[in-house]
């Protein structure tokens, strides 16, 4: 894009005309193009821009009465002219890029040309490579063997993402300043070590594709804490290191030297250390971590560390280990479990008795009929009294409906 020093905005047609004439002019007059020094070129606030954000590209030169030209490799989506100023004996043209999308990523350069020779351009400025983030889903970042590492040891940060990415970038302390650039590598593993105090900080990672200016959203931040910077504090448990399931326990971390932050870490846990800041300035300096209610998950080995709030990633030597033991549940929990089991067994027994009762009811009529037949076979032809008795029994059985019929008749 070309902008005159008189402040006239450039048109899109001017951009294409200048872009088309630049190549033959520089080929025919290579010596003349070196007469004018390259302008300076910078970005504000940074060259790493989230999708939808904005960035300003500033091209400045001491040469008066001329034009500024902004070119992008590929030539797509040329930024619009924003303003022209004169400051500190230099003319400066500012180009606004945004809202940024994937087409804005790439390499930019700016040039100047005098008013009398509009097709004679200066040397190109330093290239600015604009990178766009937030195009893909964020990866995850983890530390091996852990984010709490002793000074002098080695540490590997693992950037994990969806398949298909072949470039990974790692940044540090983005909460203090935005990354100036993203330098990619083909491996998702970043080895740090032997670590020193300079490695302490907050890290994020990005993933992308080779030869592309677009990146994923940043991973969730990962704090790397460097231990061994100061003398160790002491760690104790109240009422003691052995507690019962469901009770409360307090782990007290204290130091005779002034610190305003204390960290509690459990051995083998992937969770970051708990952090408490000092409330009472009386000696000894101490804080209390409360675990409530205690379960079997709390059992393990604990250590605490101390630090200063102005250097939150530099920690002391670890305290001596404290092993927390958690015994089984209280007696009332056992009683509750026993009552529950007894209730389930009682329901099962009642169900079994009900099934047996129904089976006996169904099998009662065939048994009576078989008994009558058996009596008739044993005694031969019955006498008058026996016959009258059998007829009475038969009449009773005829008048008594089956159990299933009684149940159906009782329904409304």
**DSSP letters spanning 264-294:** EEETT--SPPEEEE----SSSEEEEEEE-S-
pLDDT in the model for residue 367? 47
Beta bridge partners of 207: 168
pLDDT in the model for residue 398? 44
CA-CA distance, 185 to 341, in Å (whole number)?
60
CA-CA distance, 97 to 78, in Å (whole number)?
8
pLDDT in the model for residue 158? 97
**Helical axes 364-379 vs 331-362, angle rounded to 10°:** 40
Contact 67, 101 (CB under 8 A): no
Nearest to 95 by CA among 54, 58, 132: 58
pLDDT in the model for residue 35? 62
Contact 91, 84 (CB under 8 A): yes
CA-CA distance, 141 to 144, in Å (whole number)?
10
Contact 2, 81 (CB under 8 A): no
Kindly state the DSSP code that residue 262 receives in the 8-state scheme: E
- Strand segments (E) across 23-105: 40-44, 48-50, 55-61, 66-72, 80-87, 90-97
CA-CA distance, 298 to 370, in Å (whole number)?
71
CA-CA distance, 304 to 278, in Å (whole number)?
14
User: Global pTM?
Assistant: 0.69
CA-CA distance, 160 to 157, in Å (whole number)?
10
pLDDT in the model for residue 162? 83
CA-CA distance, 179 to 126, in Å (whole number)?
19
CA-CA distance, 187 to 172, in Å (whole number)?
18
The residues, ordered by sequence, that sit 6+ positions from 280 with a Cβ below 8 Å of its Cβ are 286
Integer CA distances (angstroms), 104 to 47, 72, 293, 412, in order: 11, 9, 55, 80
Contact 130, 115 (CB under 8 A): no
pLDDT in tens, the chain (412 residues): 445 443 333 433 233 223 333 333 444 344 444 567 899 999 999 999 999 999 999 999 887 677 888 899 876 555 655 567 777 778 889 999 889 999 999 999 999 888 888 888 899 999 999 999 999 999 999 999 999 999 999 999 999 998 889 999 999 998 777 788 898 999 999 999 899 999 999 999 999 998 899 999 999 999 999 999 999 999 999 999 999 888 999 999 999 999 999 999 999 888 889 999 998 777 889 999 999 899 989 999 999 999 999 999 999 999 999 999 998 765 556 666 778 888 888 888 888 888 887 777 766 555 444 444 444 444 444 554 444 444 444 444 444 454 444 443 444 4
Q: Other CB atoms closer than 10 Å to residue 339's CB: what's the count?
A: 10
Exposed e or buried b for every residue in 321-338, given b needs 16+ CB within 10 A? ebebebeeeeeeeeeeee
pLDDT in the model for residue 376? 47
Q: Other CB atoms closer than 10 Å to residue 388's CB: what's the count?
A: 11
CA dihedral over 212, 217, 220, 222, signed as positive or negative: positive
pLDDT in the model for residue 77? 55
Kindly report the length of the chain.
Answer: 412
Kindly state the DSSP code that residue 123 receives in the 8-state scheme: -
Element (H, E) at 15: helix 12-28
């Amino acid at each position: 894009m070309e902008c005159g020093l008189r402040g006239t905005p450039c048109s899109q047609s001017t951009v294409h005309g200048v872009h088309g004439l630049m190549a033959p002019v520089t080929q025919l007059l290579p010596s003349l193009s070196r007469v004018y020094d390259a302008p300076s070129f910078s970005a504000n606030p940074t060259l790493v821009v989230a999708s939808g954000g904005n960035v300003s590209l500033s091209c400045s030169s001491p040469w008066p009465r001329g034009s500024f030209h902004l070119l992008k490799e590929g030539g797509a989506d040329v930024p619009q002219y924003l303003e022209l100023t004169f400051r500190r004996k230099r003319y400066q043209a500012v180009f606004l890029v945004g809202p940024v999308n994937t087409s804005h990523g790439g390499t930019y350069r700016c040039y100047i040309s005098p008013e009398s020779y509009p097709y004679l351009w200066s040397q190109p400025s330093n290239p600015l490579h604009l990178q766009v983030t937030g195009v893909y889903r964020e990866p995850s970042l983890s530390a091996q063997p852990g984010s709490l590492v002793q000074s002098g040891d080695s540490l590997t940060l693992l950037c994990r993402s969806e398949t298909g990415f072949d470039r990974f970038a790692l940044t540090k302390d983005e909460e203090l300043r935005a990354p100036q650039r993203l330098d990619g590598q083909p491996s998702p593993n970043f080895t740090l070590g032997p670590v020193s105090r300079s490695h302490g900080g907050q890290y994020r990672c990005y993933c992308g594709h080779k030869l592309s200016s677009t990146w994923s959203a940043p991973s969730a931040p990962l704090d790397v804490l460097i231990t061994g910077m100061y003398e160790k504090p002491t760690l104790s448990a109240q009422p003691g290191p052995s507690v019962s399931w469901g009770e409360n326990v307090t782990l007290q971390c204290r130091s005779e030297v002034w610190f305003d932050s204390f960290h509690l870490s459990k051995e083998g846990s992937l969770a970051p250390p708990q952090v408490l800041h000092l409330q009472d300035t009386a000696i000894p300096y101490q804080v209390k971590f409360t675990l409530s209610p205690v379960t079997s998950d709390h059992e393990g080995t604990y250590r605490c560390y101390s630090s200063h709030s102005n250097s939150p990633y530099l920690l002391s030597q670890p305290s001596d280990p404290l092993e927390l033991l958690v015994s089984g549940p209280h007696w009332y929990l056992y009683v509750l479990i026993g009552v529950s089991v007894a209730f389930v067994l009682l329901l099962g027994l009642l169900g079994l008795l009900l099934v047996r009762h129904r089976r006996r009811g169904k099998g009662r009529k065939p048994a009576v009929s078989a008994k009558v037949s058996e009596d008739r076979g044993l005694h031969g032809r019955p006498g008058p009294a026996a016959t009258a008795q059998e007829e009475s029994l038969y009449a009773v059985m005829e008048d008594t409906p089956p159990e299933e019929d009684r149940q159906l008749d009782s329904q409304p």
